[in-house]
Amino acid sequence: MSGENCIFCKIANGEIPSATLYEDEDFRVILDLGPASKGHALILPKKHYPDLYALPDELAAKAMVLAKKMITKLAGALGCEGYNVVQNNGALAGQTVFHFHIHLIPRYKDDGVGLGWKAGKLSDSDRDEILDKMKK
């Protein structure tokens, strides 16, 4: 999807109103309209990049620093007991809006938020194959 038809472009640039927690020249941080838990927020760059692969290194670095700043302040405000910082790339990985964003999901006792996976076991063949492919 191009930037012109992208809802997060419109939100990030203030064309569509949002519950904005923070804004600077590069990013807007908003409350998610379908929160996983109370205070679930999204970091949106103001420019359109579909995913992390496309995000310039400089913005990627700034986004992580901003995530740290936001969860530090939000944790105090919300009184949550933990945070998940989640970032989906690709439909198979759960991405539904193809404008890069970082989820900041506060965690509370017994909140029922379903993030996680069943741990498998790293096989010798997978380990060797991946290490070999990453050398190329």
Catalytic residues: 101
Using CB under 6 A, which residues numbered 87 to 106 contact ligand AMP?
88, 94-97
> In terms of CB distance, is 8 or 80 closer to ligand AMP?
8
In this chain, which of 28, 99, 101, 103 binds Zn ion, going by CB under 5 A?
99
How far, in Å, CA of 54 to CA of 35, rounded?
A: 26
| Range list of H helices, 1-136 | 7-12, 57-78, 124-135
Instruction: Select from 79, 76, 4, 12 the least CA-distant residue to 45.
Output: 12
9 binds, among ligand AMP, Zn ion, none (CB under 5 to 8 A by kind): Zn ion
How far, in Å, CA of 10 to CA of 62, rounded?
A: 21
> In terms of CB distance, is 37 or 88 closer to ligand AMP?
88
Using CB under 6 A, which residues numbered 33 to 52 contact ligand AMP?
33-34
Residue 7 in the binding site for ligand AMP (CB under 6 A): yes
Q: Are 47 and 100 in contact (CB under 8 A)?
A: no
| Pairing of the two strands 82-86 and 41-45 | unpaired
Interface positions with Zn ion (CB under 5 A): 3, 6, 8-9, 48, 99
Interface positions with ligand AMP (CB under 6 A): 7, 18, 30, 32-34, 88, 94-97
